[in-house]
Amino acid sequence: MTDRIAYTKPSITELEVAYATEAARTGWGARCYDYIFRFERAFASHLGTAHAIATSSCTGAMHLGLAGLGIGPGDEVILADTNWIASVAPVLHLGATPVLVDILEDSWCLDPAQVEAAITPRTKAILAVHLYGSMCDMDRLLDIGARHGVAVIEDAAEALGSEWRGRPAGSMGAFGTFSFHGTKTVTTGEGGMFVTSDRALFERVSILANHGRDPAEPRQFFPTVTGYKFKMGNVAAAIGCAQLERIDELVAGKRRILARYRDLLSGLEGVTLNAEPEGTVNGAWMPTAVFAPETGITRERLMVAFEQAGIDARVFFWPLSELPMFEARPENTRARDIAGRAINLPSYHDMDEAAQVRVAAVVKGLFKG
């Protein structure tokens, strides 16, 4: 029996171990924020944003950002129907209304024409989620946002290392969010980051992130608004500092894996992998294969074949509108259709050639049979 091939796993070296150990030994009392501040500064500088706030998760960072924009009951937030629940849950928790639009065939990201058509006087934000490393069309979204006076925000959890015309994913909107969950390109176990270059928004979010305590408030333990507690711990931040020193290597590893899949599957008619159109870079967080309808290859067949081969593949995100807590959106035909004939392929950083060949062989086998 050959070893089971994992879907993702982090790349942890002696550097992460050394920083985490150092934080566990010394990062207390007066030094309990050292690695957190260092991680925030290093991340902002890497991305080219003015500010960054480390959080306990990307979901928490999104919640803070939406709250910082004042989004609440009666407001609408437009996002793609194809998304993980984490992007939309904070919208719901804040009492706002998600408006789910269809995706584009190639990038699997929200369709700008449908975004524009969905704008109403209640629209407060367009939530651009760069799916599986693919970039949303930021030129068109930023233009729509500017013309309608609506904030464009970026969930870049899957797009560390992705770029749009030389600008990093997460750095272009009113704010951006990132995840350092164990499956992501850079990990702290659990963790996230809020980034922005808008000073006023940064100050509002800083207060919200610190239980509503305003640094200008002279009284101790005197919150001036009801805030949140979504903070990252110092030991996690120490691991993040080490990962960030290795970010070029980590992203390059992911890109090498995606490129290798492109090679291995290039002879097959009707397989499309993650898009990387001219003027963009795909950080290649999650190699994903979509099969043309003519191939007859479905999610169900893929899951059975990978399971039998001892390979941990995952399904493409279900349309949110197919989940029980949302209203059905049968008009979002691409979101529904693509999910039924696609699969996420394993892509842990140190995946070797032989493992990728085994994955490709499963796909090739489906074409024969």
Ligand X SMILES: *Cc1c(COP(=O)(O)O)cnc(C)c1O
Catalytic residues: 184
Among 59, 107, 171, 243, binds ligand X (CB under 6 A): 59
For residue 311, the minimal CB distance to ligand X (Å) is 21
Toward ligand X, which CB reaches closer, 123 or 162? 162
Toward ligand X, which CB reaches closer, 87 or 347? 87
- Establish if 84 lies at the interface with ligand X (CB under 6 A): yes
- Establish if 206 lies at the interface with ligand X (CB under 6 A): no
- Establish if 107 lies at the interface with ligand X (CB under 6 A): no
Give whole-number Cα distances, 37 to 157, 174, 235, 237, 299, in Å. Answer: 20, 22, 12, 8, 43
Show contacts with ligand X in window 301-340 (CB under 6 A): none
Q: What is the DSSP string of 82-138?
A: B--HHHHHHHHHTT-EEEEE-B-TTT-SB-HHHHHHH--TTEEEEEEE-GGGPPP-H
Toward ligand X, which CB reaches closer, 129 or 271? 129
- Establish if 157 lies at the interface with ligand X (CB under 6 A): yes
Q: What is the DSSP string of 137-177?
A: -HHHHHHHHHHHT-EEEEE-TT-TT-EETTEETTSSSS-EE
Toward ligand X, which CB reaches closer, 181 or 336? 181
- Establish if 137 lies at the interface with ligand X (CB under 6 A): no
Q: What is the DSSP string of 48-83?
A: T-SEEEEES-HHHHHHHHHHHTT--TT-EEEEESB-
Toward ligand X, which CB reaches closer, 99 or 320? 320
- Establish if 297 lies at the interface with ligand X (CB under 6 A): no
Site size toward ligand X (CB under 6 A) is: 13
For residue 51, the minimal CB distance to ligand X (Å) is 19
Separation between Cα atoms, residue 231 and residue 208, nearest integer Å: 11
Span interacting with ligand X, options 30-38, 154-162, 201-209, 218-226, rule CB under 6 A:
154-162
Separation between Cα atoms, residue 77 and residue 209, nearest integer Å: 22
- Establish if 81 lies at the interface with ligand X (CB under 6 A): no
For residue 179, the minimal CB distance to ligand X (Å) is 3
Residue 132 CB contacts under 8 Å (≥ 6 apart), including other chains: 108, 158, 274, 285, 286, 287, 288, 344
Site of interaction with ligand X (CB under 6 A): 57-59, 84, 86-87, 129, 155, 157-158, 179, 181, 192
